Chains A and B, each alone.
Chain A
Amino acid sequence: MIPAKEVIPTDAKIYEVLSLAMRYFFAFMGVLIVGRAFSWLRKDRRLKHRRLKQLPDAGTIGILTVEQGSKQLKPGEAIPVPHEGVLGYLRTCDVVVPVDDVANAHLDFTFVDGKGLFIYPRRGCEASVDGVALTSRRVSQQYPMQHGSTLEIGQAVLRLGVFAGLDVKEAIHYCEMPEAPAGEACIPPDAPPVYPPYPPQEYPPYPQPPYVQPPYQQGSDQQPPYRQSPYQPLNPPAQPPYAPPMNEPDGSPWQGGDDHAY
């Protein structure tokens, strides 16, 4: 026992003590590093969510508007289109078209910057772009869909609208159009002339209270004559700025687009 103790050099003893002390530090550092990595992950996730809210159509190239559909997919509905994927009846497809005679996975599509949306029907599936039946891969590559093109599959007719900024030939016209479901992208240039009419609306309500009280006390039965007189001056300025956005969901946005592009 005694000689063994003498053999151990003091350096080694010091090292042993040091190393034993340091292990708590190392464990602490490990936990710290992992904690920081995970807090980074969490914050990045929040950042991503915030960005997604800012950019609702990030990653999509445009929309397909239904011109002829079914009960589940009514005309006028808009389906966002990603860069590439599968179009078909199934819910797992990237673009879901629940219309008769559309196969579960009907066709593959790929968007190429500057050229358009290429449509490749699957085996046994028929599709035509602007009336041209896509019978082979070569035909598909000759006739990509561009802004305003129609796609006919089964009993569905869909019209493609490409968002502004994607370098497709006709895309430039798109932002000049009054409608634009890509409203998110188009707001800045259009918005300033639209908003000025709104502030005047806020002023009429202030004079209203003194006017309102007497008619109510006198006869609540006489509502029709009262309603007409004070509201009439208010309505005309309110309607025109609202009109274009109101039309968006109802009518197909490309009716105007045709005038410009075709």
Chain B
Amino acid sequence: MRTKDLGKPLSRAVTVFFCSAFLLLFLRDFKWQGLALAVAVPMLNVLTTNLLPKLFPSDKLLLSLTNFLCALGILVLYDTNPSYAYAQAVYYFIGLVAMVICIYIIRLIRSFRFLVWPMMLAALALLVLPLLIGKETFGAKNWFYVGSVSVQPSEVVKLVLVIALARFMADRRMFPWLFFSAGCLGILMLQKDLGTALLYFFTTILLFYASSGNLALTGIGLAAGAGAAVAGYHMFAHVKRRVAIWQNPWSDYDNAGYQIIHSLMAIASGGLFGVGLGLGSPKTIPVYHTDFIFSVICEQFGLIFGCCVLLMYVALIWRGAAIAMATRTSFHGLLAMGITILLGLQTFVIIGGVLKLIPLTGVTMPFVSYGGTSLVSSLCLIGLLQGVASLNEDNLKEDLRLATME
């Protein structure tokens, strides 16, 4: 009852924001698609935040945050390249359906004890596919094509990774998750997809610490990871190049450092309030639709809004951790924590890369970046988190019932 009162002002503000932003873009080029998006995106927001909680007890704040970030992605893509935005809107819809399915899966299948084995095998098989039939992009071979649709299996495997880690760590069986995680990391190394490998590695380590509290083993794991990173630095030429660019992008400003320099210049030119939606030249940033979408946001909306987007992610992570803390079984707790860690790390890795805080690695910005697989899998992760939240809510209701003895 209380949350309903709190939800309305937020969803009203989000609706006003997106309606006005899409209408402004409609005034720029007078295409009917702009008007359609101005109606459709806020409506999808309002519908999901109002309808889903009627199906099952779900976390409305989490839903609102996710919706805001997804809609922001569509908005920025429509601003820069409308054809991407239409595709992204379709993926957003598919992702929402997948999210609902994930919520039901978590509510129906309480322990993945037997299901986790076939899932792990399928995940490993899926990860190997790009090595066999894949195509190399940006120095990494992590894509393959089904017809004309490109699929990035490492995004899908994230789901399996989190579930498998949570399952085996809850059972306190070390070897299955260790081998699975190591296998995934090995294949990702072969694909030269180091950003995702970094993500998987830190998720595993942090979740291990969360489950066991064993500082010594966590330290050993981190040391091993550092060793592997040094080895990777010497083994892979493109890692060496990226670190060199990170240290001094200006040394090779029109070739290797081009991306990061344009990203930094875009953020700087945005200033506090941005250059104005639909103005400026966001398309000069190299991969503006995936990796560097945060610099486009900063250029168009300004630093203040950029900080707000970061704070939205912080709120999302906070909420995820709160859900994890409120769980009753260690499997669900670790699952929620793993998802939170994964999303938080991914956000940190890409935004840190864009801001030249850490070397740039090619991962997508969750929910915002263009990319069907990424958006759908991120929404699936949120679906799993929502499922855990709804189980928490059920448990709490049961407790209240017991406390008042019917």
Contact = CB atoms under 8 A, between A and B. Distances in A.
Interface of A: 15-16, 18-20, 22-27, 29-34, 36-41, 43-45, 47-48, 51, 54-55, 58-59, 82-86, 92, 108, 163-165, 184-186, 188-189
Given A22-B20, A58-B399, A40 B301 contact: no
A19 B25 CA distance: 9
A36 B13 contact: yes
Given A41-B319, A48-B326, A108-B172, A33 B13 contact: yes
Nearest to B64: A37
B36 interface: no
Contacts of B27: 15, 18
Given A37-B311, A86-B172, 5 more contacts: A29-B13, A34-B312, A37-B312, A59-B399, A184-B403
Interface stretch (B3-11, B235-243, B368-376): B3-11
B301 A85 contact: no
A11 B315 CA distance: 40
A189 B301 contact: no
B278 A44 contact: no
Interface of B: 2-3, 6-7, 9-10, 13-14, 16-17, 20-21, 24, 27-28, 61, 64-65, 68, 170, 172, 213, 272-279, 301-302, 304-305, 308-309, 311-312, 315, 318-319, 322, 326, 328-330, 395-396, 399-405
Contacts of A30: 17, 301, 304-305, 308-309
B339 to A, nearest CB: 18
Contacts of A45: 322
Main secondary structure of the interface of B (DSSP, over half): helix
A164 B9 CA distance: 41
A36 B24 contact: no
Given A26-B301, A34-B311, A185 B402 contact: yes
Nearest to B399: A58
Contacts of A20: 276, 279
Contacts of A47: 2
A84 B315 CA distance: 29
Given A23-B301, A45-B322, A40 B277 contact: no
A153 to B, nearest CB: 17
Given A20-B276, A27-B302, A33-B17, A85 B330 contact: yes
A33 B318 CA distance: 16
Contacts of A163: 402
B405 A185 contact: yes
B41 to A, nearest CB: 15
A186 B403 CA distance: 8
Contacts of A59: 328, 395, 399
B276 A22 contact: yes
B311 A165 contact: no
A108 B328 CA distance: 15
A33 B301 CA distance: 14
A86 B302 CA distance: 50
A55 B399 contact: yes
Nearest to B24: A22
Contact of B24 (A19, A108, A185): A19
Contacts of B279: 16, 19-20
8 contacts: A19-B276, A22-B20, A23-B276, A31-B308, A51-B396, A59-B328, A92-B213, A165-B405
A46 B401 CA distance: 21
Nearest to B29: A15
A149 B329 CA distance: 23
A175 to B, nearest CB: 8
Contact of A34 (B9, B20, B308, B318): B308
A40 B402 contact: no
A16 B274 contact: no
Given A41-B315, A45-B322, A185-B403, A26 B274 contact: yes
